[in-house]
Every structure is written in structure tokens, then in C-alpha cells.
């Protein structure tokens, strides 16, 4: 199997597949998030496809905050910040990095 430039191979279900790894970094500035609520911001990541696996690298988070990331539309990764505290949370603007892993090498 020839491996295309910028791709890796993984073993999945006893079959070798190519996986494309793409990443992007953006400065995200979440607003004030009320207790128990969430806010979504997006990062453009060319080549991201709904269903790709997403890994996000968060800056230092305030106590009580958590996050998730997913491909919400073609070329768009959504980062969801969750306020798990009893009060408002106002995270400082920071650089977030996201990466997608596309099995099949798409």
C-alpha cells in the first residue's frame, strides 16, 4: 500500500487504512456563560467532514469548565464550552487547536 503524503496508516478491523490528520488553531473568545449553560464557537478546518473524529487542545480552563468539539458542517469544527459551576463563567480569549482524523484518508 502506498501512503500518500501527509497521511498515516492504522489497523482497523484487521485491515490497514489510511488516516488523514488535519489541524487548525484559532483564537476563541467565549462570552459570559450562565451557570449550567453552554456556548459554541467555531473554527474553520478545511477538509473536515461530519463524522470525523475530533481532538481539541484547550488552553488553561477555569475551574468548573469543560468542553467538547465536533465537526458540525463541512470545513467547520464547533468547540462547545460548558459551565458546570453555580455562577457565571467568563473565559479569557485564548488559542484553541483542533485536529480531525479522517479514516479512509479523506
Summarize pLDDT for 22-67 with one digit per residue, the tens. Answer: 999 999 999 999 999 999 999 999 999 999 999 999 888 889 999 9
Burial 83-100 (b: 16+ CB within 10 A, else e): beeeeebebeeeebebbb
Mean per-residue pLDDT, 83-94: 94
Domain boundaries, the chain: 21-103
**pTM of the predicted model as reported, rounded to 2 decimal places:** 0.83
Amino acid at each position: 500500500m502506498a501512503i500518500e503524503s501527509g497521511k498515516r496508516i492504522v489497523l482497523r478491523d484487521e485491515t490497514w487504512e489510511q488516516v488523514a490528520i488535519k489541524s487548525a488553531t484559532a483564537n476563541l473568545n467565549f462570552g459570559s456563560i450562565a451557570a449550567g449553560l453552554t456556548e459554541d464557537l467555531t473554527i474553520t478546518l478545511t477538509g473536515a467532514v461530519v463524522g470525523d473524529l475530533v481532538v481539541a487542545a484547550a488552553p488553561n480552563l477555569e475551574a468548573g469548565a469543560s468542553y467538547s468539539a465536533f465537526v458540525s458542517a463541512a470545513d467547520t469544527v464547533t468547540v462547545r464550552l460548558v459551565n458546570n459551576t453555580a455562577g457565571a463563567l467568563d473565559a479569557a480569549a485564548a488559542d484553541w487547536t483542533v485536529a480531525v482524523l479522517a479514516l479512509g484518508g479523506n
